[in-house]
Chain A
Amino acid sequence: MSQQKIFDVVVVGSGPSGGTLAARLARQGVDVALVEGGPKLNTRTDFNTHAMPYEFANRHIPTMKPGKPGMDSQRTRGAGGKSQTWNAVAWRFSQRDFKGKDWDDGAGENWPIDYADLAPHYDSVEREVGVCGNLDGLTDLPDGIFLPPVPLKCSDVLLQRGAAKLGVKVIHVRKATLTKPKSGRPACHYCGNCMAGCDVAAKYNSYDVHIIPAMRQSGKLTLFTDTLAREVMLSPENKVTGVATIDRVTKQQGEVRGRSVVVSCACVQSVGLLQMSKSRRYPTGLANSSGHLGQHFIPHFTGGIEFLLTQLKGKPVGNDEGFLDHAYQPSFMHTRTRPYARSFGAQFGYQNRRGIGWARRFSGFGADFKNAVKAAYPAYVVWSPYGEKIPDGRSRIFLDEKNLDAWGLPEVRRELNWSDNDWKIFNDMTNWGREIVRASGGEILEVATEPRPNHELGGCRMGSDPKSSVVDRNCRTHDVDNLYVVDGSVFPSASEKNPTHTMMALAARTADHLAGRLKKGEL
C-alpha cells in the first residue's frame, strides 16, 4: 500500500505505547499514520473471553475465536498489540526507580529523567484511561488519581495478615481496569479472563480506548493494519522519511511516508526493526553509532511458589478469578541490608482458575484423591514475584539473518544471561516467599527453581551520553533528529514494577514534545 501522502508522524506499532502516542498527537491536530503489522480486531466479538476449557475438545482455550486472525506472532499481534491481552497492572515508577544507580552504589544505570518529569503524564494517563487502586502513601510506589480499588480476595487477606507479621506490606493492586463506568466503557464484571482479551474494554486496550476514539473524533489518525514495517527509511541528509512495509496477507511491498517516525513495536521487535534498517551510514542498524542498540536487555524475571492456604481448605468456593490478582506486595528489600542491587515485588494469583495442573501432584488415586483435590481447590494460590535485572553486559537482542519468517524478515532473537545479582535476587525472593507463605498458614506445593523472563525491557536505552545510549531524555535517537523510540526498549533500568504504565506516560510525554516541535516547524 503505497501512500503518496506525507504524514507528520509515522508511528510503528499500535500497542499501549504507540496507541497512546498516536491518539495524543491526533487530538493535538497532528497528522498521524499508525502502522500495525497485525489485523484489525473486534474486541467485542473476536476473543474467547468467556470460554471454558471444556468447550474445546483439547481443553485449550485459543486466544481468538475460530476464523478470527490475530495474536498469532509477535510481529502481527493485531490492533491494540499486547494491550489486548495484558493484565493491566499499572504502577508509577518512583524516584528510586529512575535513579537506581545512585541508590545502589553504582550498580546498573540511571534514567536521564526524574519522577517529576513523568508525574504529570502519569496523571493524564490515569485521568484518561482509568486506573483503580488505593491511596497507600508509600514513598517507593507513588499514589495517583485512582478509581476505587477492588476488594481483596480471602486468600489475599490471609496473606496480608501473614506478611504483616514479618513487617511486609500487602496492598491493593492498581490496574488500568475500570471499577466504575467511564467514557462509554462499562465497569469490570469480574469474569476473570482478563488476559484472554476483555470483550467490554473495561480493561484498557489501546485500540478501543485510544485509537478508535481518536480516529473518530480527530479525523487526523490513519490506521494501517496488516502492514508490517520492514525498514525505517533514511535520506542522504540523515533524516528518516517513513517506513518500508510488507502487506501481511498479500506480501506486497509498500511505503508509509512521514516527516518523523516513532518506533513503538514492543521492546524486542523495535530493536529488530532498527537492526533491519541498515545503511552505509548505519551498517549495524539505524541509530546505532554507539554500538549499544540491542545491548542492555533487562527483562523482569519471575519465580514463584504454588501453595494451599490451610484455613481455606474445604471452604465454600467463591469467584476466585475476580479480575485476576487483587493484591500486591510492593518492594520492601530496597530499604533493607541485602547482598545484591535492586529488589523485587510480587503479585498473588494472577492466573485464572480454568485449569488445575497442580492436581496431578496430589498423592494416591480414587475417592480420597478426588476429595483432596476438591478440598484444596478454594485454598490454592500462586505467589509470583518479579525481580529487577540490571544490565549484565551479555544479555542482548539480535537478528538471526539465517532464519527468515513468513515475510522474509530475519527472526529477532534474545540472548539472556542470569548474572550473580539476578540469582541472588531470585534466591532471596524465593526465600521471602516461603516465609510469607509459612507466616500465612500455607502448605507449599511447588517452588520455582530458576528465573524465567517476563516483561521485556531494554535494547534502545535512554541516556544523556550518545556514546553509551540510543535515545535521549525525549526518546529521540541521538543519531537521527526525527527518529524516536517509545516503548519498553528505552528503559535504562527496569524497576521491579510492571512497566506498561510508565511506557504510556513516556508516550504521552513524547507526544507533547513532538507536537511542540511540529508547531515550531522543526520537523
Chain B
Amino acid sequence: MAERRETLKIIGAISATCTFPYTGNELYGQHADPHAGHASGKQASTGPRKFFTEAEFALLSKLTDLIIPDTDTPGAVKAGVPGYIDLVVDANPEHRKVMREGLAWLQAQGFAAMDQPRQVALLMPLSEVLDKGRVKTLPERFFRLAKNLTCDGYFTSQIGMSETLGFKGGSMMANYPSCEIPEH
C-alpha cells in the first residue's frame, strides 16, 4: 500500500465503511459467490467437497484441529472449518497452489502417522516464523494460510461465535444497559 502514497487514483467505489483489518478480500471468502446460501439462523452447509481429495481433506482437518482444538468448547473440525476452507480455497487459484503443495509437504513429513506432540513440534517452528513476520518458504506460507483460514472459519462459525466467544449481539433489547465499572 505504501507505494501509492503520492497519488491515489481510485477506480470504482470507495468503501464508505472502515474495514479493519487490512487483510484484503480473501477474508470471509468475499470473493466467493456472495449469494451462496440463505439466512436460516443455522450454519449453512458448505456442500460437497470441491477442491481437496479425501486424503488431503483428512490431513487438513487434523491440521485445523491442532490450530483450534477442542477445549471446553468444540474445536475447528466440529465447527465445520475444513468445509469452509475447501470453499474458499477452491475459489482462489493462489490458495489452491499453496494448499496443494503444502499438504503434499505435510504428507511427505509423515504427519498423518505422527503422534500429537510430534505434529505440534513440526508446526511450532512455522508458527514462530509467522509470529515474527518472516514467512518465506512454502511450508511457512502454507501454515500462514491454514492458520488464517482456520481463524476466519472458526470464529465466524456458529460454534465459534456462540459457544467459544459468547457473542451477545444481534439481540432485541428494549433498553441498552448502562456500564457499571468502578473508577478504581
- Name the CB-closest residue of B to A415: B9
Quick check: A189 and B44 within 8 Å, CB to CB?
no
Complex alpha-carbon distance, A187 and B173, angstroms: 10
* CB interface residues, A 287-338, toward B, < 8 Å: 299, 302, 304, 306, 311, 316-323, 326
Residues of A within 8 A of B68 (CB): 365-366, 369-370
Looking at the assembled complex, report how far the CB atom of B16 sits from the nearest CB atom of chain A, in whole angstroms. 6
- What residues make up the interface of B, taking CB atoms closer than 8 Å to A? 1-2, 4-14, 16-23, 27-30, 32-47, 66-69, 71, 75, 84, 87-88, 120, 123, 127, 131, 147-148, 151-153, 155-158, 161, 164-174, 176-179, 181, 183
Contact A59-B147, Cβ < 8 Å, known A151-B179, A361-B21, A414-B14: no
Contact of B21 among A74, A311, A358, A374 (CB under 8 A): A358
15 extra A-B contacts, CB within 8 A, seeds A151-B179, A374-B165, A382-B18: A53-B28, A55-B44, A56-B36, A57-B29, A66-B38, A82-B16, A151-B178, A158-B181, A319-B171, A320-B169, A322-B176, A355-B152, A365-B68, A366-B120, A370-B71
Majority secondary structure of chain A interface residues (helix, strand, loop or mixed): loop
B172 and chain A: residue at smallest CB distance: A189
B1 touches A354 (CB 8 A): no
- The reply to whether B179 and A55 contact each other, CB–CB distance below 8 Å, is no
Flag if A317 contacts B166 (CB, 8 Å): yes
Q: B176 contacts which chain A residues (CB < 8 A)?
A: 150-151, 190, 319, 322-323, 326
A-B contact pairs, 6 of them (CB 8 A): A55-B39, A57-B47, A60-B29, A66-B35, A192-B171, A354-B156
For residue A360, CB closer than 8 A to chain B, the reply is yes
B10, B39, B148: which contacts A56 (Cβ < 8 A)? B39
Residue of A nearest to B157 (CB): A54
Q: Is the CB of A157 within 8 A of B181?
A: yes
- List of B residues within 8 angstroms of A65 by Cβ: 39
A365 touching B10, Cβ below 8 Å:
no
In angstroms, how far is the closest chain A Cβ from the Cβ of B180?
A: 8
**Complex interface: stretch among A22-30, A98-106, A449-457:** A449-457
User: When chains A and B are docked, how far (Å) is the Cα of A350 from the Cα of B17?
Assistant: 9
* Chain A residue contacts of B164, Cβ below 8 A: 370, 374
B residues less than 8 Å from A60 (CB atoms): 28-30, 32, 34
Q: A304-B20, A358-B20, A453-B14 are in contact. Are A318 and B168 (CB under 8 A)?
A: yes
Q: How far is the CA of A359 from the CA of B161 in the complex (A)?
A: 12
Which of B41, B42, B127, B161 has the most A CB atoms < 10 Å from its CB?
B161
Interface residue stretch chosen among A44-52, A206-214, A431-439 = A44-52
Residues of chain A within 8 A of B4, CB atoms compared: 450
Q: Indicate if the CB atoms of A413 and B155 lie closer than 8 Å.
A: no
A328 to chain B, nearest CB (A): 15
* Neighbour of B156 across the interface among A53, A374, A382, A415, CB < 8 A: A53
Complex contacts, A156 vs chain B, CB 8 Å = 179
Whether A455 lies near B167 (C-beta < 8 A) is: no
Interface residues of A in 155-194 (CB under 8 A from B): 156-158, 161, 187, 189-193
Task: Scan A191-202; emit 1 where CB is below 8 A from any B CB, else 0.
Answer: 111010000000
Given known A50-B170, A58-B30, contact A318–B177 (CB-CB < 8 A): yes
Do A52 and B170 touch across chains, with their CB atoms under 8 A apart?
yes
- Asked, given contacts A161-B183, A364-B131, A416-B8, whether A54 binds B17 with beta carbons under 8 Å apart, the answer is no
CB of A364 within 8 A of CB of B28, answer: no
Chain A neighbourhood of B5, CB < 8 A: 418, 450
A189 near B28 with CB under 8 A, answer no
Bound Cα distance from A384 to B21, whole angstroms? 12
Beyond A189-B174, A357-B27, whether A57 also contacts B84 by CB under 8 A is: yes
Residue ID in chain B nearest A51 by CB atoms:
B39
Q: How far is the CA of A381 from the CA of B102 in the complex (A)?
A: 35
Nearest CB to that of B184 among chain A residues? A161
In the complex, what distance in Å separates the CA atom of A331 from the CA atom of B168? 32
| A446 sits at the interface (CB 8 A) | yes
Q: Please name all residues of chain B whose beta carbon is closer than 8 Å to the beta carbon of A382 when the two chains form the complex.
A: 18, 20
Q: If the complex has contacts A151-B177, A365-B67, A452-B18, are A74 and B13 also in contact, measured as CB distance less than 8 A? A: yes
**CB of A377 within 8 Å of the partner chain:** yes
> In the complex the two chains form, is B169's CB within 8 Å of A353's CB?
yes
B69 touches A370 (CB 8 A): yes
A150 to B176, alpha carbons, bound, how many Å? 7
CA distance A74 to B166 in the complex (A): 36
